[in-house]
Amino acid sequence: VQLQASGGGLVQTGASLILSCVASGDIFTDYSVGWFRQAPGEEREFVSAISWRGSNRYYADSVKGRLSISRDNALNTVYLQLDSLKPEDTAVYYCAAARSSQNWVTFYQKSWVYTHWGQGTLVTVSS
């Protein structure tokens, strides 16, 4: 499966953005999807994840309450809504896909469980 992330941009503190991750090339419902981010000089970190049917959704503690993940399997798309953005949210945001499995249920926060990655979209939050 190929992934294309988009929707990033330059916004002010407190603004909102919706990131999209469009999949192609395989059966989208075979995959669970995660979002990660990497700030300059930092390691890539887990942000959010959603199971193939959308029934299970997970968030990092640092973003809980400000982010919402969803998916539209008819459009092969996963969305990540970012609200109340802060300067510390500035990063390149990556979407990634993993075949749905018990392994993913256990390790959804780990980048190694994802086998396919998009190219990333840059979110910059100014103070």
- In order, the DSSP letters of the chain are -EEEEE--EEEETT--EEEEEEEESS-GGGEEEEEEEE-TTS--EEEEEE-TTS--EEE-TTTTTTEEEEEETTTTEEEEEE-S--GGG-EEEEEEEEE-SHHHHHHTT-GGG--EE---EEEEEE-
State pLDDT tens for residues 4-44. Answer: 999 999 999 999 999 999 999 988 889 999 999 999 999 99
Average pLDDT for residues 98-125, to the nearest whole number?
95
Average pLDDT for residues 62-74, to the nearest whole number?
94
Average pLDDT for residues 99-114, to the nearest whole number?
94
Give me the pLDDT at residue 26, please. Answer: 86
Average pLDDT for residues 53-81, to the nearest whole number?
95
Give me the pLDDT at residue 77, please. Answer: 97
